[in-house]
Structure 1
Amino acid sequence: MTPKLIQIPKIEDRRGNLSVIEKETVPFEVKRVYYLYDVPAGAERGGHAHKNLKQFLVALSGSFDVFLHDGKQESKITLNKPYEGLLIPTGVWREIKNFSSGAVCLVLASEVFEEGDYIREFDDFLKSKNNCV
């Protein structure tokens, strides 16, 4: 599985829009929800990969860039719509940068927090990818 953008259903109304994330929206059972906010200018989040966990990121407010690396190539995806999410599969390095003022990043995760699931050093990540090839 490769990272991909997924449209979140959007119900438009003159009183304001509503988007709903249900079990059909993300291809995994959500076991953990958290969000990043009040990120200082110039700060970065992420900087790791997961062995088993999958994530779905949504910019609820503002914008930010998600830098992804699959062990061979790097890509950048800007999230800035609350009705669009980024599915990040296991085994992909991610860094979140360039948060706008007031940005809120919602993260839906397929697993509860488990430190042993993290690969926190980029060199270790690349080694793990080379061992899998």
Structure 2
Amino acid sequence: MPANPYLLSFHHVGSPDIGYITSTQLAENIPFTIKRVFWTQDTPPGVMRGQHANMATEEVLIAMSGSIKVLADTGHEVQEFELTHPQQGLYVPAMCWIELEFSEGAAALCLTSTDFSEKDYIRDYDYFKKLATHLAL
């Protein structure tokens, strides 16, 4: 059975008076070695991002500013998350379809287990469902 997405917390220090530093240094809860880091910004509200799954890539998604609504579908369970602060991330396992909706001014940081490869992406939801159903057997 494939893994499920879940929320995780990052170590942070500071105060409202001076601000905060958030780090993955103590993030032993990230279940993979980080190979790639990318960010998404200036997504207009109402635009749906993601709309894909990855065959092998695992991700941790973080809202650096604003908020991000995430629909995560493993093929056997659909969960909804809302990321609202940078001390929290969402672990997205391989073979998990995601759809992302950004608030105005939101920026997302993504940590991944692999380098980019278009061959890793599943961009057809019906095909994803067939694969996910087969993997669950």
How far residue 43 of structure 1 moved from its aligned partner, in angstroms, is 0.6
| Structure 1 match to 2:85 | 81
Distance in 2, matches of 1:43 and 1:81, equals 20
How far residue 64 of structure 1 moved from its aligned partner, in angstroms, is 1.2
| Structure 2 match to 1:62 | 66
The letter of the residue matching 1:3 is P
Distance in 1, matches of 2:103 and 2:40, equals 12
Gaps spanning 5+ residues in structure 1: where?
Answer: none
Q: Identity of counterpart residues, as a percentage? A: 35
> Is 1:123 the equivalent of 2:126?
yes
- More strand per residue: 2
> RMSD across aligned C-alpha pairs, in angstroms?
1.1
Matches within 5 A, 1:1-133: 1-13=3-15, 14-22=17-25, 24-97=28-101, 99-132=102-135, 133=137
Q: Could you tell which deviates more after superposition, 37-46 or 18-27? A: 18-27
How far residue 18 of structure 1 moved from its aligned partner, in angstroms, is 1.0
Gaps spanning 5+ residues in structure 2: where?
Answer: none
Query: Residue by residue, what CA displacement relative to the aligned partner does 1:14-34 show, whole Å, maximum 9, x if unpaired?
Result: 311111012524111111111
Query: Residue by residue, what CA displacement relative to the aligned partner does 1:80-122 show, whole Å, maximum 9, x if unpaired?
Result: 011000001111110101x111101100010001111111100
Distance in 1, matches of 2:127 and 2:31, equals 28
TM-score (norm 2): 0.91
